[in-house]
Structure 1
Amino acid sequence: MLTASTRSLARKASTNASPQRMMSAITGVKGREIIDSRGNPTVEVDITTAQGTFTASVPSGASTGIYEAHELRDGGSRYMGKGCATAVANVNTVLADAIMGMDSADQRGIDEAMLKADGTPNKANLGANAILGISLAIGKAGASSRGIPLWKHYAEIAGNPIPETLPIPCFNVINGGEHAGNKLPFQEFFVIPTGAETFSESMEIGCEVFHNLKSVIKAKFGGDATLIGDEGGFAPPCDVESGLDMIMEAADKAGYLDKVSVGLDVASSEFKVAGEDAYDLDFKATEKDPSQVLSGDEMIALYKKLIDKYPIVTIEDPFDQDDWANWSKIVAEVGEEVQIVGDDLTVTNPIKIQEAVDTKAANCLLLKVNQIGSISESIDAVKLSKQNGWGVMTSHRSGETEDNYIADLAVGLCTGQIKTGAPCRGERTAKYNQLLRIEEQLGASAIYPGMGFRKPAWMG
C-alpha cells in the first residue's frame, strides 16, 4: 500500500516526466521474507514500474568478514534470531519512501538515495540486506526499461565497452571449513577449467570432473563421504593434500588433466589463533593436535609447497582479515604466479581495497555485493581494483537463493572469473545456466578468458 508521501511522489513523477521516464518510474516497492539455501530467512524485493514487476533476492554468508556491511537480523527466538522482518519493514517504509517515483534506470541515483536514508557508513540503520534487495531489483527494472539484457545494462552503467567476456568458472568441488562438518580446515577446493576454449566446454569439464571425483571419494572413503556441503561440493574426511590429490585423480580419470587448474579458499580468519601469529589447522577437532598450529611463515611455507606440487592458480584469504603483514609477504613471494584473493580482507569495500593496494596485500578482489550492499558501490569496488591491475572474481555466498544476477554481473563487469559452487544444487546451477544462456546470446562474439582470467580485456 502506498503512503500519502509516496503517492505524492508518484504523482509528481508522472506530471514532470517524459513518456519513457513515466514507463520506467518506480510505482511500487514490496519486500518479503523468503528462505535461503541453508534454511535461513533472507530478503526478497519486488520493484514495480509500468513495464511490470521485477524481483531480486539477497544472499547471506556463513564465513563473514568483520568489516562487511551490516546484515540486519531481528534477534529473539523467531528463526533462532535470524529473522529479517525488520529489514523487510524498512524496505516497505523508509526505503520505499526514499525512491518512489524515481527512474528505475538511474541505478546510482537510487542507490545514493537509499544510502542517504540509512545515514551510516555500514548500513547499520536500515540494513545492507534491505538496501541490496532494492538495488538488485532496480537493476532488473532498469534493464527492462532500456530493452536490454541485465548483463548489458550493468556494462553500460559501469562504462564497460566490451561486455563479451564470459567468466571462467571456479567449481567448489570439495567443501571444508565452516561450510562442512568434516575436519578439513580449508573452506573450498576449486576445479578451474583454464584449458577450455569456451564457457560451454568449461561446464562439460567441470561436471565430468565432479562426477569422477564422487567415484574417487567413494572408493577411498565409502558412500557417506560423498554427502555434500553448503555449496554443493563433497565433504570427505581428508586433509588438504589428499583433497587436492583426489581432485587431480578425478581430472585424470575424466581425461582433462591438461585442461584443469586448481584453487583454494582458505578462509583463514576462521582459524586464526587470537592474539598470536598462529593458525590452528585442527580447529574443528575435539582433541587438538598441537603440531597443526602454524605460524605465518609456516603457513607461507605450506602454500609454497602446495603451489610446487599442484597446478594452483588462485588462493583466497590465505591469512586473517587483520594480518596485513603476512598478506603482503605472500603477495611478494608468490603473487606473480598465483592470484592472491582478498575476501575478508577487502569485503568489496573501496576503502579496504585501497588499503590493500597501498600495502600490496592482495592482487584480486572477491566481488560479493552483499558485503558492500549496493550495485553502485560494487561497481566502484571493481573499477578501483581493475585500475590497480587486480583481478576480480565474482562470488556467490554460502547462503544463496535461486536468483542468478551474479552471472550477469560477472559478464557486465568483465570480471573474467566466477565462483558459485559445485555444478550441483539448484541455487548454484542457476548461475551457471544463466551464463550458458548469455553465451548463447553473445554467439560468436563470446570470449572465454582461459589462462587470461586475471587480466580480461576491460580495465575500467
Structure 2
Amino acid sequence: MKQAKISSIQAMEILDSRGNPTVRVFIELDDGTTSVASVPSGASTGENEAIELRDQDTSRYAGKGVLKAVANVNEKLSPALFGMTVTEQSLIDQTMIDLDGTDNKSNLGANAILGISMAVARAAAKSVRLPLYQYLGGAGAKRLTIPCMNIINGGEHSDNNVDIQEFMAVPIGAPTFREGLRYVAETFHVLKKILKKRGLATSVGDEGGFAPDVASNEDALETIIQAIEQAGYKPGEDIAIALDSAANSFAVDMKGAYDLKWSGAGKMQSSDLISLAKDWVKKYPIVLWEDPLAEGDWAGFKQFTQELGDKIEVVGDDIFVTNTQYIQRGIEQGIANSALIKLNQIGTVSESIEAVRMCRDAGWRYFISHRSGETEDTFLADFAVAMDGGHLKSGSASRSERIAKYNRLLEIERELGVSAQYYW
C-alpha cells in the first residue's frame, strides 16, 4: 500500500479556554486526507518546559499573540516537511526538533512544533483508516482511563484561599469508564449543592472545578468526602481522592521552603509538608499525589516518596516536565514512582511516547494530563488510551473543552465494545 505524503501544512491563531491565543494546524496529504490539531497551554509551568512562542507585542492580546509561531509553521516548518511520508512520525518530529536547534524549542516554538506533530499523527491514522488510539497504541489498545476529575480548584487555578491546586475524585470502584464518569459527575453535582447550602461560591476555576473559599485545605477534603457519601458512594471503595499540590506555586525558594499563602497556613519546610501528607493519607482515601513539593526540591521529593511511595502514586510534573532527561534522573534517584505526561510540556508526540516508554520500562506509572488552557481538540483522549496508562486528568464535569475529552472516551469505549477494559 502506497504511503501518503504531506502536501500542505498551514496554521492559524485561535483562542484557548482562557481566551488566550494558541495555534491550530491544518494538514493535507496527497491522498486527499485532511486533519486538524489545536495546541493547549499551561498556567502553572515548570522551569524546564518546552517554550511556547509568544509575540510579546503588547498591542495584541497583551503580548500573548502567537502570530510568530503561526508564521514559523507556514514559512519554515511546512516547506521542510513537504513530501515526507506521514506515517514516519519520529522522523517528522526529529526533523522539526533539528530545524529548531534548541533544547527547549524556543526558536520555532513548542506550540508550532506540537501542532504539526499532533496533526501528523491524526492525519496518518485517518490515511490508514485506523482510529487514532489504535494507530498510536497498536491493536492491543483497549484500556480506558479512569477519569481523575478535578472537582475543587485552588492555587493558581482559582481566586480562593486554597493552596492545593487540584482536588480530584477518582472512581476506582466503577466497572466501566461510562460508570466511572457517572460516579464522579454525580459527585460533582452533589458537591455544588453542598457548597451552595453553606453559602459558598459555586463558580469554577480554569479546569472546571469549584473554587470556594472553604475554611482550610483540609476542609476541602472533608467536603469532598461528604459529597461522595451524599452521592451514594463509599469513599476509598467506589471513589478515591487524588491531589495536585502544584507546590511550585507556594514555594519560597524551590529548594525546601514553602509559604501556604492562600490558606494562611503559613511557612513550612519540606519535612512539615511530608508530615502533613502522611496524616492526610492515613485519614483520607488518597491514592495519588502530584507535585507535593517544588521542582527544585529533589531531596524533599525523594523523602516524600520514601515515606509514602509504597502507599500512593507519587507523581512528578514540574520536576520532570515530560522530559526523559529528568525522568531518567528521577528513576535513578528514586525521586517519585510516576511521571505526569503533558504533550505540550515536551513538544512532540514522539517525545511524549518515549517518556511513557521510559516510565513503563522502569516499573513506574504515568499520568496523562490536559493543560489548564485547553481547546475542544480530543487528541488527548485517544493518546491516553493508546498509552495504556490507566488514568487521565482532563478537568471537571463542566466546561466544554474538558467534556469533549470525556465524550471522546465514551465513544472509544463504545467502539471497543466488550473488549474494553477499565481498572486502576
TM-score for the superposition, normalised by structure 2: 0.97
Counterpart position of 2:81: 99
Does residue 1:237 correspond to 2:217, yes or no? no
SS, match of residue 221 in structure 1: coil
C-alpha displacement at 1:420, in angstroms?
A: 0.3
1:360 maps to which residue?
334
Structure 1 residue 275, shift from structure 2 partner: 6.9
Deviation, 1:151, is 0.2
Q: Which residue is equivalent to 2:41?
A: 60
Deviations 1:89-119 (A, max 9, x none): 0000110011111111111111111111111
Count residues with an aligned counterpart.
419
Q: 1:144-199: per-residue Cα shift (whole Å, max 9, x none)?
A: 1111000001113xxxx621110111000000000000011110000000000100
Q: Secondary structure at the match of 1:336?
A: coil
Shift of 1:278: 1.7
Query: Which whole-Å deviations, capped at 9, do the CAs of 1:41-68 have from their partners, x for residues lacking one?
Result: 0000000012332000000000000000
Structure in which a larger fraction of residues adopt helix: 1
2:109 corresponding residue in structure 1: 127
Q: Partner of 1:30 in structure 2?
A: 10
Q: Deviations over 1:126-154 (max 9, x none)?
A: 00000000000001100011110000011
2:251 equivalent in structure 1: 272
Alignment partner of 1:186: what SS?
A: coil
Tell me the distance in 1 between the aligned counterparts of 2:331 and 2:276. 25
**What is the identity percentage for the equivalent residue pairs of Structure 1 and Structure 2?**
47
Which of 385, 391, 410 is matched with 1:417 structurally?
391
Map of 1:300-449 to 2, 5 A cutoff?
300-449=274-423
Task: Using the TM superposition, give the Cα deviation of residue 20 of structure 1 relative to its aligned residue in structure 2, in angstroms.
Answer: 2.1
Question: 2-side partners of 1:162 and 1:303: how far apart?
Answer: 37
Do 1:221 and 1:236's aligned partners in 2 also have CA atoms closer than 8 Å?
no
Q: Counterparts in 2 of 1:124-163, with a 5 A limit?
A: 124-156=106-138, 162-163=140-141
User: Given that residues 149 and 395 in structure 2 are in contact (C-alpha distance below 8 angstroms), is that contact kept between their aligned partners in structure 1?
Assistant: yes
Structure 2 residue identity aligned to 1:299: L
Match of 1:44 in 2: 24
Paired with 1:315 and 1:166, the residues of 2 have a C-alpha distance of 21
Counterparts of 2:28 and 2:231, CA distance in 1: 47
Q: Distance in 2 between matches of 1:253 and 1:275?
A: 39
Q: Is the 8 A contact 1:341 1:364 kept in 2?
A: yes
Give the RMSD, CA atoms, in angstroms: 1.1
Structure 1 residues not aligned, in runs of 5+: 1-18, 454-460
Q: Residue in 2 aligned with 1:7?
A: none
CA positional deviation for 1:276: 6.2
Amino acid at match of 2:126: S
SS in 2 for 1:262: strand
Aligned 8 A contact 1:267 1:319 in 2 = yes
Indicate conservation of the 8 Å contact 1:175/1:234, yes or no: yes
**TM-score, L = length of structure 1:** 0.90
Native 8 Å contact 2:323 2:355 kept in 1: yes
1:340-385: CA deviations, max 9, x gaps?
A: 0010011000001001111111111111000000000000000001
Tell whether 2:271 aligns with 1:297: yes
Tell me the alpha carbon deviations over residues 297-327 of structure 1, each in whole angstroms, 9 at most, x when there is no partner. Answer: 1000010111111000000000110100000
Tell me whether 1:109 sits opposite 2:91 in the alignment. yes
Question: Match of 1:300, as an amino acid?
Answer: I
1: CA distance, partners of 2:70 / 2:326:
29
What is the 5 A alignment of 1:196-275? 196-222=174-200, 225-238=201-214, 239-257=216-234, 258-274=237-253
Letter in 1 for 2:207: E
On the 8 A contact 2:255/2:294 being kept in 1, the answer is: no
How far apart, CA to CA, are the structure 1 residues paired with 2:356 and 2:346?
12
The structure 1 segments of at least 4 consecutive aligned residues displaced by more than 4 Å after TM superposition are none
Native 8 Å contact 2:152 2:220 kept in 1: yes
Q: Find 1:169's aligned residue among 116, 126, 147.
A: 147
Matched, 1:181 2:159: yes
* Greater mean deviation of Cα atoms: 413-422 or 49-58: 49-58
What are structure 2's unaligned runs of at least 5 residues? none
Superposed displacement of residue 240, structure 1: 1.2
Hey, what's the Cα distance between the residues in 1 that align with 2:204 and 2:329? Answer: 37
Provide the C-alpha distance between the structure 2 equivalents of 1:276 and 1:202, rounded to a whole number of angstroms: 38
**Does the aligned pair in 1 maintain the 2:26–2:35 contact within 8 Å?**
yes
Deviation at 1:404, TM superposition (A): 0.6
Residue 6 of structure 1: aligned partner: none
SS of residue matched to 2:376 = coil
Quickly say closer, same or farther: Cα 1:82–1:242, change in 2 above 3 A.
Answer: same
Alpha-carbon deviations, 1:386-415, whole Å to 9, x = none? 111111111000000000111000101101
2:61 alignment partner in structure 1: 79
